[in-house]
Chain A
């Protein structure tokens, strides 16, 4: 079995932590020698995923708990984001039509759209322990 490196970050659902999350992603990328492009794509997908949790699971509350776990192998990067907020299913959020003119563009759904474009797999599940957002990126 390929060796893997694991990284963990625990934060509260305060929006001001988003910058810390970005720094964490770039630090993981540095330590595992991911390319700049993969690092930037991952940072954006994680930013959108954590924002979803802050806005939808915790409804803007700043004291919710969020755990980020990264596992990096030679083949892939797996990210798990756990929260204990209200159940939400981003899979049901309608994707925006990116070909419609600006004046007709819907305001919502763009964050999940970006996550799906930037990562190879995005899953949302919910169990007794809370919500789990899982994203996978294949590594070249």
Chain B
């Protein structure tokens, strides 16, 4: 599956939909998309991982960095995740991220949570 990103902006939050593997070769594109949203003043971000079945440490570094920035900007700022597959959730658990991020079954619920 070729790597791809789609960014949409809603009233409550901005959404980054990722397609394909996030490893060290694709993480810079993911980081650039998320960073642009933060630089444009977005503090409420949803990352939709419906089309992603692999994340390496490089992907988690992007999520941690983004979370730190939006949380610093406003205490309610957050990066929330939608459509994380059970397989991908295993990786979140491996890194101890399953209790740190908020997960939603679909994008609508994730956006609505803000």
- Cβ contact within 8 Å between B56 and A47: yes
Binds B, one of A27-35, A82-90, A104-112, A121-129: A104-112
Q: Is the interface of B mostly helix, strand, loop or mixed?
A: helix
A117 at the interface (CB under 8 A from B): yes
Contacts of A107 in B (CB 8 A): 61, 64-65
- Cβ contact within 8 Å between B24 and A18: yes
- Cβ contact within 8 Å between B24 and A98: no
Q: Convert B49-91 into 0s and 1s, putting 1 for each residue whose CB lies closer than 8 angstroms to a CB of A.
A: 0000010111011001101100110000000000000010001
Q: Given that A103-B67, A114-B95, A117-B94 are contacting pairs, would A16 and B25 also be in contact in the complex, using a CB cutoff of 8 Å?
A: yes
Complex CA distance for A117 and B24, rounded to whole angstroms = 19
Residues of chain A whose beta carbon lies under 8 Å from any beta carbon of chain B? 15-19, 22, 40, 43-44, 47-48, 51, 54-55, 96, 98-99, 101-103, 105, 107-108, 110-111, 113-114, 117-118
Residues of chain B whose beta carbon lies under 8 Å from any beta carbon of chain A? 21, 23-25, 54, 56-58, 60-61, 64-65, 67-68, 71-72, 87, 91, 94-97, 100-101
List 9 contacting pairs A-B, 8 Å CB cutoff, sorted by A.
Answer: A17-B25, A22-B54, A47-B23, A48-B56, A55-B24, A101-B100, A103-B68, A110-B61, A114-B94
